[in-house]
Amino acid sequence: MATYFVSQGHDEIPRWQEAFPDARLIRPEDLKARLVRGDCVWVMADAPEWPEQVGELQRRGAAVGVMTYSPATAEAFQALESGARAYVHALSPPELLRQARLVILNQGIWVPPELMARVVGGVFHALGGSPRDRDEALAPLTERERAVALAVVEGYSNKEVARRLDITERTVKAHLGAVFRKLGVRDRMQLVLRLTSVPETALGVGRGS
């Protein structure tokens, strides 16, 4: 199982080598002959027609990650919709890059924490969460825990939830911890799946997100 960074003629980022000493910098045309199902491939979001490239690599069985110098919610969705399993800042610490690779090689999804709330909200709406689903799933929660859970799955960050409910961010985290325990979920994405009655196997959800 190899790790590749698709080169478009730009200078190599030193942190890549630190994170993945065995990774190979490769041109798109050379990758076609070398790629084996299960390989991990990183593509830069500033490359020409990168979404099409990601889609082709995904169809050939690669675990694809997209790197960017300017993370943005719309671009993150575009990456995931194209078939990428990770969307990371190109200057992320090596340890974070290694974690992202581990997640996607295990069929998970990795996006920056600051974008996760938006991605979760998009997934919830895409899966069609309804008031009836919510009422049944959230029955074990207190009124305040329910309010926090609903705001989180709608895509609000902890800071935004705190502002909307006029509580501290620390209190939001405490309520969210209680929500996870009572509903038997481990993170925001699993909460979305619980509220939409969609099995986790329908999405590759990683704990690194």
Considering the domain 117-202 in this protein, what is its CATH number? Answer: 3.40.50.2300
Q: What's the pLDDT at 66?
A: 94
Torsion angles phi and psi, residue 86, rounded to 5: -145, 150
Tens digit of pLDDT at every position of the chain (209 positions): 899 988 766 555 667 778 888 888 888 888 888 999 999 999 999 888 899 999 999 999 999 999 998 888 889 889 988 999 999 998 889 998 999 999 899 888 888 766 776 666 666 666 555 545 567 778 899 999 999 998 888 878 888 999 999 999 999 999 999 999 999 988 787 787 777 654 444 444 443 33
Residue 27 and residue 6: Cα distance in Å, rounded? 6
Domains in the chain: boundaries = 3-111, 117-202
For the whole prediction, is pTM greater than 0.85?
no
CATH of 3-111, one of 3.20.20.140, 3.40.50.2300, 3.30.1330.10, 1.10.3720.10: 3.40.50.2300
Q: Phi/psi at 28 (nearest 5 deg)?
A: -55, -40
Alpha-helical (H) ranges within the chain are 14-19, 28-34, 50-59, 73-82, 94-105, 113-126, 131-137, 143-153, 158-165, 169-183, 188-196
pLDDT at 79: 92
Pairing verdict, β 24-26 and 40-44: unpaired
Structure confidence at residue 120 (pLDDT)? 67
Model pLDDT, residue 71: 86
Q: Do domains 3-111 and 117-202 have the same CATH topology?
A: yes
